[in-house]
Amino acid sequence: MAKSLQIASREEENVRIIDLTGDLTQSEEDLAKLILPSDRALILNFTQVDYINSAGIAQLIRLVRSVQENRVTVLAHGVSTHYQKIFQMVSLTNYLYLYPDEKSALAAAGIM
Number of domains in the chain: 1
Please list, in sequence order, all residues whose beta carbon lies within 8 angstroms of the beta carbon of residue 32, skipping any fewer than 6 positions away: 62, 63, 66, 67
Residue 31, classed as helix, strand or coil, is helix
Q: Is residue 1 part of a domain?
A: no
Q: Which whole number is the average pLDDT over 40-59?
A: 95
Q: Which whole number is the average pLDDT over 3-7?
A: 90
Q: Is the pLDDT of residue 112 over 70?
A: no
Please report the pLDDT score of residue 74 as a whole number: 95
Q: Which whole number is the average pLDDT over 55-84?
A: 92
Q: Provide the residue range defining the domain that includes 94.
A: 6-108
Q: Which whole number is the average pLDDT over 79-87?
A: 97
Q: Is residue 85 part of a domain?
A: yes
